[in-house]
Amino acid sequence: MEIVSNGRYRSIEHRATVNSTKERLSIATFNSSNLDSELGPAPSLFGPDNPANFRRVPSEKYFKEFFARKLSGKSYLDFMRIENGEGNTS
């Protein structure tokens, strides 16, 4: 969500708190995009006065690289982030 919103909605790391007096409820949700599409900031959320904060990549490449990495916080989000004006903003 952070990538699509161009940083407007920040992602958080999953954390679970153990409570010995209350049961825990977990809800798993799945969202998948067409592998022929691109993943990146919504075009309406960036422009000349508000540059893209994240790269646009083919969805297939995003998922392959995301699942090939070890779980380490938000490391893939950091990889997708554009630094110092570099990257693809189309």
Q: For the chain, what percent of residues have pLDDT higher than 70? A: 80
49 vs 17: which has the higher pLDDT? 49
Question: How much is the pTM?
Answer: 0.66
Would you place residue 6 in the very low, low, confident or very high pLDDT band (cuts 50, 70, 90)? very high
Please name the helix (run of DSSP H) or strand (run of DSSP E) that holds residue 59, with its range, or none: helix 59-68
Query: DSSP secondary-structure letter at 10?
Result: -
CA distances from 49 to 46, 52, 53, 81 (A): 8, 10, 12, 18
Average pLDDT (34-61) is 91
Residue 7 pLDDT > 50: yes
Dihedral, CA atoms, 50, 2, 39, 73, nearest 10 degrees? 130
3 vs 73: which has the higher pLDDT? 3
